[in-house]
Amino acid sequence: MDKKYLIPILLSYVAILAALYFAFIYAPTERTMGDVQRIFYFHVPSAWVSFLAFFVVCIASIAFLRTGKESWDILAASSAEIGVLFITIVLITGPMWAKPVWNTFWTWDARLTTSFILWLIYIAYLMLRSYVHDKERGARFAAVFGIIGFLDVPIVYMSIRWWRTLHPAPVMGGKEGSGLAPEMLMTLMICLGAFTILFATLLFLRYKTGMVATEFERLKIKIHS
């Protein structure tokens, strides 16, 4: 494999090993929740990465509509794919943590519901990309949907919050910053960093693959004509 691919892969490999060390050995066991709380150290970073990925989709979509450059479109598509991967991880690991702690897999709390709706929106985004006839126009459709999809995030979150405040929400443990031991906070930061590196690596690889693929299509047309 090419050297330029190997370096980021190795870097994220090391970062993840370090994060695992912190999550399992350095961080103390949570008193009430026990070991299952260690899901937290990769659940929260996954959520962060998925939001970051959808933010990149939005920015790349705006840039694509402005410039019409194909590379922005490829970046948006790559980032959306990775965002869906991580939001799926969030939606799977969340219930795995909630079941033993709150004794329920799911509650319609603002953050959970927003993640679920985000998942639906970006699955739709990926479907839209694969269902178009005309590639150039399809890229514009995807960009428009990518922008609206991201602008929808705060709107969905606020509406669900207003909806939920009228029903008493179950007590959510581990609200950001509340009663998190310094070691745990440190571990969380390391894991956030590691997952950000992982995101950058995946995005780089996926983007390069997309670029090579379009280059391939161009070459094919050139040779056959």
Which H or E run includes 10?
A: helix 3-21
Binding segment toward other proteins, per CB under 8 A, in 29-37, 51-59, 170-178, 186-194: 29-37
Residue of 55, 102, 106, 141 interacting with other proteins (CB under 8 A):
141
19: exposed, middle or buried (Cβ count in 10 Å: 0-12, 13-18, 19+): buried
Instruction: Print burial letters for 59-87: b (CB count within 10 Å at least 16), e (below 16).
Output: bbbbbbbeeeebebbbbbbbbbbbbbbbb
Check if the beta carbon of residue 96 is closer than 8 Å to that of residue 39. Answer: yes
Residue 11 or 144 having the CB closest to other proteins? 144
The partner residues of 30 in beta bridges, in order of sequence, read 34
Residue 114 to residue 138: CA distance in whole angstroms: 27
Q: Indicate whether 163 belongs to the interface with other proteins (CB under 8 A).
A: yes
- Measure the CA–CA gap between 68 and 87, rounded to whole angstroms: 28
Dist CA 19 CA 22 (whole Å):
5
Beta carbon of residue 191, minimum distance to other proteins (angstroms, whole number)? 11
Helix (H, G, I), strand (E, B) or coil at 34: strand
Binding-site member from 46, 50, 79, 115 for other proteins (CB under 8 A): 46
From residue 78 to residue 107, what is the string marking binding to other proteins with x (rule CB under 8 A)? Answer: ----x--x--xx--xx--xx-xx-------
Name the segment binding other proteins (CB under 8 A); options: 41-49, 51-59, 173-181, 185-193: 41-49
CA distance 51 to 47: 6
Asked if residue 11 binds other proteins (CB under 8 A), the reply is no
CA angle 206, 156, 64 (to 5 degrees): 35
Q: Work out whether 58 is an interface residue with other proteins (CB under 8 A).
A: no
d(CA 47, CA 53): 10
Site residue total, other proteins (CB under 8 A):
61
Span interacting with other proteins, options 52-60, 117-125, 176-184, 186-194, rule CB under 8 A: 117-125
159 binds other proteins (CB under 8 A): yes
Q: Which of 160, 184, 188, 190 binds other proteins (CB under 8 A)?
A: 160
Please report whether residue 187 would count as binding other proteins according to CB under 8 A. Answer: no
Give the interface with other proteins as residue ranges (CB under 8 A). Answer: 34-36, 38-39, 42-43, 46, 65, 82, 85, 88-89, 92-93, 96-97, 99-100, 117, 120-121, 124, 127-128, 131-134, 137-138, 140-141, 143-145, 147-149, 151-152, 155-156, 158-160, 162-163, 198, 202, 205-206, 208-209, 212-213, 215-216, 219-220, 223
